[in-house]
């Protein structure tokens, strides 16, 4: 039944009547209190008299296009409240994040469902409307009668998002907590999608999200964000939080991010980091950005040169966190010098006792930490590599450059 729905644009200006059917005023705004209920309209704000009045949801008998009828007349004057999300002030025309479409959208209207309960009607936010239909509704409202607007809008296809898939933006971290803005929707997204969204937001909104979101998710997303935005986000955060996020990033990504910052800021952040990630990042920061040392990452798996397939399989269990992108194992001698590179896939068809050395790719390709990036991309192209080991001047394995790094490099050109 179409009557079961009500749009925010229709709600605004709706007349409110008391028990005797006298008009008290017009609806000016409606508010939810997310801490109490995520979608129920908690109160209506009434204008028309001297001051705005508050109608609580349990004072309402019925809601329809004909008006709102109350069952209780004890209304309190309206006063602003940090826990309240006012739909017209805080939601309408503002940007929100569409968790399913994974993009930032602007709210044009809100669709409520009227719920007929025993002791009175309740409004629940059902959808957030963003399309042309809601735009038409907004423009036509107040100019032509509500019911005619409903009939005319039928010709335009609707475009709405479910309220539960939306994440509102609130730039003030304190108020974010009071409004119970959950980052769950963002944390469930692919980091690359989250990064795209973050790039579309204003600096304040970015800061608020990174300030409150889980550090691990933040680190993954930040890795995918463009370097200059990355820098501005890190600079805007509290040093402690920034350090927490940088610690969670892969060391070479962390080094790249810190290299973009002003020296003082990056030192402050390093200062806050734990000793182990700190030294690792600091070492990487020493390398020139466009050299092998600047491109490599230090998340590789190196095994003794006499290890067998079975030992390698066992050893991999300790590196679960990097398995998703791992494709090559490196063998090193007792002094840590690189002796061979073994494609991971070869392990699966070899017997457990096979020495890894026998599976090594020929010839062994490696570059010096000082090698220029043009030469590196050339080697990747020529030998169709997925990973290329990087060694220092004594031949010790220092890190590895992976194909995704080379792709980013080429795309920047």
111 is a site residue for other proteins (CB under 8 A): no
Of 4, 66, 76, 94, which lies in the binding site for other proteins, with binding defined by CB under 8 A?
A: 94
- As measured in angstroms, the least distance from the Cβ of 144 to other proteins is 14
Answer yes or no whether residue 201 interacts with other proteins by CB under 8 A. yes
Is residue 152 a contact residue for other proteins (CB under 8 A)? no
The answer to whether the beta carbons of residues 65 and 155 sit under 8 Å apart is no
Binder among 23, 106, 116, 375 for other proteins (CB under 8 A): 106
Residue numbers 216-245 binding other proteins by CB under 8 A = 226, 228-229, 232, 235
The nearest distance, CB 281 to other proteins, in angstroms, is: 19
Does residue 203 touch other proteins according to CB under 8 A? Answer: yes
- Residue 71 near other proteins by CB under 8 A: no
- Count of residues near other proteins by CB under 8 A: 24
What are the tokens at 309?
A: 């397939």
d(CA 53, CA 17): 13
Is 262 among the residues that bind other proteins (CB under 8 A)? Answer: yes
CA 249, CA 247: separation in Å to the nearest integer? Answer: 5
Query: Using the rule CB under 8 A, is 130 a contact of other proteins?
Result: yes
CA distances in angstroms from 389 to 154, 342, 380, listed in the order given:
62, 11, 11
Number of H helices, E strands in the chain: 17, 21
Answer yes or no whether residue 190 interacts with other proteins by CB under 8 A.
no
Output 108 or 215, the one with its CB closest to other proteins: 108
Residue pointed to by tokens 């890795």:
223
Nearer to other proteins, 135 or 310 (CB): 135
Among 139, 322, 323, 407, binds other proteins (CB under 8 A): 139
Distance CA 79, CA 53 (A): 9
Give yes or no for residue 204 binding other proteins (CB under 8 A).
Answer: yes
Among 5, 24, 35, 135, binds other proteins (CB under 8 A): 135
Of 26, 15, 30, 18, the residue nearest 72 (C-alpha): 18
Q: How far apart are CA 326 and CA 315, in angstroms?
A: 13
Q: Is residue 350 involved in binding other proteins (CB under 8 A)?
A: no
* Cα dist from 357 to 42, 140, 308, 384, whole Å: 69, 75, 8, 21
Alpha helices (H) in 22-63, listed in sequence order: none
Helix, strand, coil % (nearest 5) of the chain?
Answer: 45, 25, 30
Instruction: Give me the residues that bind other proteins (CB under 8 A), please.
Output: 92-95, 103, 105-106, 108, 130, 135, 138-139, 201-205, 226, 228-229, 232, 235, 262-263
């Amino acid at each position: 039944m179409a009557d079961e729905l009500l749009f925010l644009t229709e709600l605004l200006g709706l007349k409110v009547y008391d028990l005797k059917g006298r008009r008290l005023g017009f609806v000016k705004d409606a508010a939810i209190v997310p801490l109490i209920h995520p979608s129920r309209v908690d109160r209506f704000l009434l204008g028309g008299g001297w001051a705005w009045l508050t109608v609580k949801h349990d004072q309402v008998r019925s809601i329809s296009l004909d008006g709102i009828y109350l069952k209780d007349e004890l209304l309190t004057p309206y006063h602003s409240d940090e826990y309240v999300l006012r739909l017209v002030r805080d939601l309408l025309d503002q940007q929100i994040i569409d968790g399913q479409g994974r993009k930032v959208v602007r709210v044009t209207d809100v669709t409520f469902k009227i719920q007929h309960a025993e002791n009175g009607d309740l409004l629940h936010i059902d959808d957030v409307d963003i399309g042309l239909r809601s735009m038409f509704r907004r423009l036509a409202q107040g100019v032509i009668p509500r019911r005619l607007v409903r009939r005319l809008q039928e010709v335009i296809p609707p475009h709405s998002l479910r309220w539960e898939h939306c994440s509102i933006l609130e730039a003030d971290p304190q108020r974010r907590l009071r409004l119970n803005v959950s980052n769950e929707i963002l944390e469930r997204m692919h980091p690359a999608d989250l990064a795209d969204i973050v790039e579309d937001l204003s600096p304040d909104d970015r800061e608020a999200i990174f300030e409150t979101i889980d550090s691990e998710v933040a680190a993954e997303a930040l890795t995918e964000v463009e370097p200059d935005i990355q820098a501005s986000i890190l600079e805007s955060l509290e040093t402690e939080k920034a350090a927490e996020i940088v610690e969670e990033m892969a060391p070479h990504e962390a080094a790249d991010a810190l290299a973009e910052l002003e020296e003082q800021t990056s030192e402050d952040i390093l200062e806050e980091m734990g000793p182990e990630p700190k030294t690792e990042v600091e070492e990487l920061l020493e390398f020139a950005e466009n050299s092998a040392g600047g491109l490599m990452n230090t998340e590789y798996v190196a095994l003794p040169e006499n290890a067998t397939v079975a030992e390698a399989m066992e050893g991999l269990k300790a590196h679960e966190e990097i398995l998703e992108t791992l494709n090559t194992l490196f063998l090193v001698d007792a002094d840590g010098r690189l002796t061979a590179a073994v494609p991971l896939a070869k392990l699966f068809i070899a017997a457990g006792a096979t020495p890894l050395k026998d599976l090594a790719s020929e010839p062994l390709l490696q570059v010096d930490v000082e090698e220029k990036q043009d030469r590196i991309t050339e080697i990747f192209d020529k030998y169709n590599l997925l990973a290329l080991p990087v060694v220092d001047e004594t031949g010790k394995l220092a890190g590895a450059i992976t194909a995704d790094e080379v792709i980013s490099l080429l795309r920047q050109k």
